[in-house]
Amino acid sequence: MSHVKLKTMFICLMLVVALAVPGFAQEDVIKIGLITSLTGSVATYGQSVRNAVTMGVDDINAAGGINGRKISLVILDDKGDATEAAQAARRLIDRENVAMILGPVITPCVMAVAPIAQAAGLPMLTPTGTGDQITSIGDYIFRGAYKDSFQGRIMAQFAAENLGIKEAAIIYDVANDYSVGLRNAFKATFEELGGKIIAEESYSTGDTDFSAQLTSLAMRNPESLFIPDYYSTAGPILMQARLLGLDSVMLGVDGWDSPDLSALAGGFEEGGYIVNHYSADVDSEVTQNFIARYTEKFGQAPDALAALGYDGVLIMASALEAAGSTDPEALKHALGTVGDIDAATGVINMDPEGTPIKSAVILRITGGKWELVDRIDPIGR
Amino acid sequence: MAWHIMALQQLINGLALGSVYALIALGYTMVYGIIKLINFAHGDIYMLGAYFGFYAITVLKLSLVPAVLTSMAGAALVGVLLERIAYRPLRNSPRIAVLITAIGASLLLQSTAQLVFGASFKPFPQAIPFRRIQLGPVFITNRQLLIFGVAVLLMVILHIIVHYTKLGKAMRAVSMDKEAALLMGINVDRIISATFAMGSALAAAAGILVGMYYNRIDPYMGMMPGLKAFVAAVLGGIGIVPGAVVGGLLMGVAENVVVTIGSSTLRDAVAFAILIVVLLFRPNGLLGKKGIEKV
Amino acid sequence: MNKLSSLIKGIILLLAYLVVQLLERQGVLLPYHVQILSLCCINVILVVSLNLINGFTGQFSIGHAGFLAIGAYASAYLTVVWQAPFLFAIICGGVLAGIAGLAVGLPALRLRGDYLAIATLGFGEIIRVIILNTDAVGGARGFSGIPKYTTFGLAYLMAILTVVVIRNFVTSDYGRACLAVREDEIAAESLGVNSTYFKVLAFTIGAFFAGTAGALFSHYLQYMAPTPNQIGFVKSIDILIMLVLGGLGSITGSIVAAITLTIIPELLRGFAEYRMIIYPILLIIVMIYRPAGLLAGNELSLSGITQFVKGARAHGNHT
């Protein structure tokens, strides 16, 4: 084929694309964008969130929608990668014209999307993002979970006061906002309460071999080891730690919550403690109802991410109803004043800054199951 | 705890990692020695080996040894096919074209693996129970022993094949002078296929060992180790079989040292820094002859 | 004739720009589309600058993303921390990247072919790891909050500038020396061409433009993460694929490939996984049947089009 012909073809193709009419005839639906990590290192989170959000939206639509309008979900995969998340956000805002964005799921992705949403004046609600700095990006940014500073503090308190632990070591991901934020909070509180951080080691997202760091830690034989990272990394760390001779009490975070943790940790997560958003043992009708329906619909018990995802939909629905329209300003205002929602992860009241006032639970892995050990209510309820 | 004990322990860790690099590096070096090609897709064959092993254990319910052998056979097949389809047509093409094809093959394997196996991390089935063995002040896990053991065994077998069999002799002949070997009646195409098969089998073994050791596999696990193993091959002297072993072990230890003393974020840079130093000051590698480029 | 053809080209380019602006104003082109066009321009700069090194001078460099990274981070640092004007930041980014090109080019020149390729890959990764460890630019967690200074107009202008400069370079005596080095370095040397000088020159210029593209890129994305996807070997290979498919040594090919391969992934968003299977297959097929790339060595020129049209008319008359 002649070269010029090829080139002409390409240019025509480009023009056609450039002129493509965006969108199609739409009925009166409320378009909501969901950015979640369906593939990549936190795939189980992303899938849980997607499942729960879809279930939540289906529930709302089945009950007649919001003020008579149904919700239409546009789901995009950010692959657990910040750049992809940013691209997805752009597409949702510029091309799909969504009324608001649900997600992303993990803090690094949220940090890439939030500035974009804020600049575009579009409300964004991450049901699961816990990084502190998320809500300080702007007034259009909201979350459905507690902050890492809260989480890290809770774990440090629990370890020092309930378990009587005097010394801790930390191994964390220096390339991940989530991990760093948790480490900062834990360290500050633990030291405040008189504990000693005897050693710290770090690694980068994607590392698989932690033998160098863990061997160093093993030499110090710490009483406890805090591992603030997602299950896909915490699992291997737990296994390698035990194999390299660490007998410490293992302390974890909500990121550990995944059905894959046990396999990845080779069973060595046994006896570990984590802070989480909810527990299947909580005696609340809403929670138990949610668990039953989710299990029936998807064939497996929901994890905390799913619960948060579902609650995210509840928050969003409440705000949409209160706002009465999809006007960004009104929606933003409504989101900021959401209150007294009886959700699967507890009662939700949004604080003016965009973070809900919620409780946390401490769970212990016993016999392969998450056992509720304690429940901590936030101050100022 | 005394410094030297920690150093010894870290050495053991480094050697375990290094053995893995050595196994992968052997494949690179053998292929380069015979057709002067940097097989970028080699790291992905390592990844496929891990996945074949995964399915052999979980779906075919094989025990460890049969699973490893099955995986090695599967990978050998993939290697041979790869050579036949992507590299053979380019045997006489400019180097750039072949290198780009190799890159393309690598991307293809990764993306196909992602599509077929799913993109998330899969936990690797634990085929043997954990055990820690005390050796004086330090200890070694049975997994590390397995890695050493299998690596050494495979290297010995390779050595025997290369130096004591007819096939090995033919391989050495082809790598020394392809035209002359052809004139001598050696079926060069078959020898090349055999080389790919063997190199791929070794990489697959490494893949399964790594899957067991680190407990998780994903479609992109071959990228970095592949590059690092290539550096190891260059370090030892590309095209020289013992060089790959030496290079691999050194790389593993060096990486561990850097992470222990410095920061783990420098981990990947170690390989490339070594590469550049070697290429600039001793391009034929540690075990290679000091040579000048001929016109 | 030259002046006239240049004038015509200039007018066509200006018209194209005005058309885009008009369509945007009319709402036919969404901001989303214009963003994609900006990205096209950035990729054009990247691919054409790589072409200078790989295509015209025959040096196999696959660490181009390293230069992109330097330009991106340096310019972002300047605008965010020093509140520098954007143009200044772009130029600084380019210059710093150019210096890096010099630093990479000089030692790398002792290597040939495969080894050079791997060495440049290594350099690219080392640059990435240095950035990863530099807290002043966000370190491992990335650099966020970069202001959105890249407009379509600016990107378009820079792309045109890059193409003009490189095209002039290539058709000049310097360019011919580079081609000589590519074809047969030793013969060129024996004819008095200082191959080292020209190889380093190609690296430096290519790196400079990659740096400017990087500056545009970081102020487009507003967030830079030091991952292999964004500034490491994955990105380098992305650029290489565009270059190879377009054709080594063909600027037109580079432009077409850059534009097409930027737009198509957006179109095929739903099929993102298949894209990464199709690309490599395409790459392998092209390498087997047309190793120099689709438009290798051929350029589209005004005279070329007029001749084609004349030829077609002549043929039409005969039938």
pLDDT tens digit string along C260-282? 988 887 776 666 667 778 888 88
Per-residue buried b or exposed e for A199-210, using 16+ beta carbons within 10 Å of the residue's own CB: bebbbbbbbbbb
Please indicate, yes or no, if residue A129 is contained in any of the structural domains. yes
Please report the pLDDT score of residue C295 as a whole number.
61
Q: Tell whether A154 and A269 lie within a shared domain.
A: yes
B81 touches chain C (CB under 8 A): no
pLDDT digits (tens, 9 = 90+) for A31-72: 999 999 887 778 888 888 999 999 999 999 998 888 888 999
Q: Tell whether A101 and A122 lie within a shared domain.
A: yes
Q: Tell whether A181 and A240 lie within a shared domain.
A: yes
pLDDT digits (tens, 9 = 90+) for A87-111: 889 889 888 889 999 989 988 889 8
Q: Tell whether A96 and A139 lie within a shared domain.
A: yes
Please indicate, yes or no, if residue A366 is contained in any of the structural domains. no
For residue A73, the domain's CATH number is 3.40.50.2300
Please report the pLDDT score of residue A99 as a whole number.
92
Return the number of CB contacts < 8 Å for B and C.
115
Measured from the Cβ of residue B276, the count of other Cβ atoms closer than 10 Å reads 21
Q: Tell whether A263 and A288 lie within a shared domain.
A: no
Please indicate, yes or no, if residue A83 is contained in any of the structural domains. yes
**CB-CB contact of B244 with B251 (8 Å):** no
> Of A374 and B207, which is predicted with more confidence?
B207
Tell me the three-class secondary structure of chain B, residue by residue.
Answer: CCHHHHHHHHHHHHHHHHHHHHHHHHHHHHHHHHHCCCCCCHHHHHHHHHHHHHHHHHCCCCCHHHHHHHHHHHHHHHHHHHHHHHHHHHCCCCHHHHHHHHHHHHHHHHHHHHHHHCCCCEECCCCCCCCEEEECCEEEEHHHHHHHHHHHHHHHHHHHHHHHCHHHHHHHHHHHCHHHHHHCCCCHHHHHHHHHHHHHHHHHHHHHHHHHHHCEECCCCCHHHHHHHHHHHHHHCCCCHHHHHHHHHHHHHHHHHHHHHCCHHHHHHHHHHHHHHHHHHCCCCCCCCCCCCCC
Q: Highest-confidence range of A47-61, B109-123, C297-311, by mean pLDDT?
A: A47-61
- Report CB contact under 8 Å: A19, C139: no
**Angstrom distances, CA of residue B59 to CA of B126, B207, B215:** 14, 18, 17
pLDDT digits (tens, 9 = 90+) for A259-293: 888 888 888 888 899 999 888 777 788 888 899 99
**Residue B120 clears pLDDT 80, i.e. is over it:** no
Q: Tell whether A46 and A165 lie within a shared domain.
A: no
Q: Tell whether A259 and A324 lie within a shared domain.
A: no
C263 touches chain A (CB under 8 A): yes
Please report the pLDDT score of residue A17 as a whole number.
47
Whole-number percent of chain C with pLDDT over 90 = 30
- Report CB contact under 8 Å: B221, A243: no
* Interatomic CA distance for residues A293 and C25, integer angstroms: 49
Residue of C32, C125, C271, C273 to mutate when probing chain A, most A C-beta within 10 A: C32
* Beta strands A346-350; A356-357: pairing state: antiparallel
* Interatomic CA distance for residues B275 and B234, integer angstroms: 7
Q: Tell whether A158 and A226 lie within a shared domain.
A: yes
C227 touches chain A (CB under 8 A): yes
pLDDT digits (tens, 9 = 90+) for C113-129: 777 888 898 899 899 98
Distance from CA of residue A153 to its chain's centroid?
18
Considering A276, A293, A317, which residue would you say is the last residue of a domain?
Answer: A276
- The tens place of each residue's pLDDT in chain A, 381 residues long, gives 445 555 555 555 555 544 443 444 345 789 999 999 887 778 888 888 999 999 999 999 998 888 888 999 999 988 887 777 888 898 898 888 899 999 899 888 898 899 889 988 999 999 998 888 888 888 999 999 888 888 999 999 999 999 999 999 999 998 888 898 899 999 999 999 999 999 999 998 888 889 889 988 988 889 999 999 999 899 999 998 988 888 899 999 998 988 888 888 888 888 899 999 888 777 788 888 899 999 999 888 888 889 999 999 999 999 998 888 888 999 998 988 888 888 888 888 888 888 888 888 899 998 878 888 888 877 643
Judged on CB neighbours under 10 Å (0-12, 13-18, 19+), B8 is middle
Closest residue in chain B to residue A37, using alpha carbons only: B120
Task: Tell me if ipTM is over 0.85.
Answer: no
Please indicate, yes or no, if residue A375 is contained in any of the structural domains. no
3-state secondary structure of C127: helix
**Angstrom distances, CA of residue C201 to CA of C114, C124, C164, C194, C205:** 21, 18, 17, 11, 6
Please report the pLDDT score of residue B94 as a whole number.
76
C296 touches chain A (CB under 8 A): no
Please indicate, yes or no, if residue C6 is contained in any of the structural domains. no
Please indicate, yes or no, if residue C269 is contained in any of the structural domains. yes
- Report CB contact under 8 Å: B104, C129: no
> Of C292 and A187, which is predicted with more confidence?
A187
Considering A238, A256, A276, which residue would you say is the last residue of a domain?
Answer: A276
* Interatomic CA distance for residues C309 and C288, integer angstroms: 31
Pick from B99, B112, B266: CB nearest C133: B266
- Report CB contact under 8 Å: A115, C294: no
Q: Tell whether A142 and A153 lie within a shared domain.
A: no
Structure token digits, residue A169:
């070591």
Q: CB within 8 A of A170, min separation 6: which ones? A: A183, A186, A187, A197, A199, A200, A201, A225, A226, A227, A228
Closest residue in chain C to residue A119, using alpha carbons only: C148
Length of chain B: 295
Range of the domain at C290: 31-318
Please report the pLDDT score of residue B119 as a whole number.
72
Range of the domain at A170: 149-276
Please report the pLDDT score of residue A379 as a whole number.
61
Average predicted confidence (pLDDT) for chain C = 84
Closest to C138 measured CA to CA, from C69, C226, C233:
C226
Min Cα distance C290 → chain B (Å) is 9
- Report CB contact under 8 Å: A83, C229: yes
Please report the pLDDT score of residue A226 as a whole number.
96
For residue C261, the domain's CATH number is 1.10.3470
* Interatomic CA distance for residues B287 and B246, integer angstroms: 9
Q: Tell whether A73 and A140 lie within a shared domain.
A: yes
Q: Give all chains having 3 or more CB-to-CB distances under 8 Å with chain B.
A: A, C
**CB-CB contact of C256 with C246 (8 Å):** yes
- Report CB contact under 8 Å: C23, A19: yes
Please report the pLDDT score of residue A22 as a whole number.
40
**Residue C300 clears pLDDT 80, i.e. is over it:** no
Find the Cα–Cα–Cα–Cα dihedral B49, B52, B57, B60, rounded to 10°.
-150
Which pLDDT band, with edges at 50, 70 and 90, does C134 fall under? confident
Please report the pLDDT score of residue C301 as a whole number.
60
Please indicate, yes or no, if residue C167 is contained in any of the structural domains. yes
* Interatomic CA distance for residues C175 and C56, integer angstroms: 8
B227 touches chain C (CB under 8 A): yes
Please indicate, yes or no, if residue A349 is contained in any of the structural domains. yes
* Interatomic CA distance for residues A55 and B208, integer angstroms: 39
Please indicate, yes or no, if residue A364 is contained in any of the structural domains. no
Domains of chain A: total: 2
Considering A245, A276, A307, which residue would you say is the last residue of a domain?
Answer: A276
**CB-CB contact of C261 with C46 (8 Å):** no
Which pLDDT band, with edges at 50, 70 and 90, does C194 fall under? confident
Domains of chain B, with CATH numbers? 3-281 (1.10.3470)
B119 touches chain A (CB under 8 A): yes
From chain A, pick out residues whose CB is under 8 angstroms from the CB of C300: 3-4, 7
Domains of chain C: total: 1
Which pLDDT band, with edges at 50, 70 and 90, does B44 fall under? very high
pLDDT digits (tens, 9 = 90+) for B125-176: 877 777 778 877 777 888 888 888 888 899 899 989 988 999 988 988 888 8
* Interatomic CA distance for residues A266 and B124, integer angstroms: 9
Please report the pLDDT score of residue A369 as a whole number.
83
Mean pLDDT of C32-41: 85
N-to-C CA span, chain C: 32
Closest residue in chain B to residue C242, using alpha carbons only: B100
Mean pLDDT of C173-177: 87
* Beta strands A29-36; A100-102: pairing state: parallel
**CB-CB contact of C154 with C213 (8 Å):** no
Which pLDDT band, with edges at 50, 70 and 90, does C318 fall under? very low
Mean pLDDT of C211-228: 87
